[in-house]
Amino acid sequence: MSVGLEHYLTVSILLFGLGLLGVILRRSLILMFMSLELMLNAANLALVAFSRYNNHLDGQVMVFFIITVAAAEVAVGLALLVALYRRRQTTHADDVTSMKL
């Protein structure tokens, strides 16, 4: 059976599930962040596959924007983590339950 759109979508769904599992289970903020990146990449794979089989370039343009926004998001998120660590000496989700520093 030759590889088609369904195969790519299945890989994308499984990767998304792994990322979701990481966000739910791991309590270290940095690992939750990495799992978020995994979920974004899974969505990108689905978009590129749809784009190829739909014969339309808009999906790839979307992925281009997603990658750019993800880079900006990582920069700000990691800066927040550094600021949090400087104040609280922790990066665990369980220790960050109040909004007041």
Whether 5 contacts 50, CB under 8 Å: yes
When asked if residue 88 is in the footprint of another protein (CB under 8 A), the reply is no
The angle, 0 to 180 degrees and rounded to 10, between the axes of the packed helices 5-25 and 29-54 is: 170
Site for another protein in 48-67 (CB under 8 A): 48-49, 51-58, 60-61, 63-65, 67
Q: Which is nearer to another protein, 55 or 98 (CB)?
A: 55
**Which residue, among 46, 35, 48, 44, has the nearest Cα to 74 in the 3D structure?**
35
When asked if residue 36 is in the footprint of another protein (CB under 8 A), the reply is no
Binding-site member from 30, 96, 98, 101 for another protein (CB under 8 A): 30
User: From residue 55, how far is each of 11, 39, 59, 96 by CA, in Å?
Assistant: 20, 24, 10, 46
Q: Which is nearer to another protein, 28 or 96 (CB)?
A: 28
Query: What's the start-to-end Cα distance of the chain, in Å?
Result: 57
Where along the sequence are the contacts to another protein (CB under 8 A)? 2-11, 13-22, 24-28, 30-31, 33-35, 37-38, 41, 44-45, 48-49, 51-58, 60-61, 63-65, 67-76, 78-83, 85, 90-92
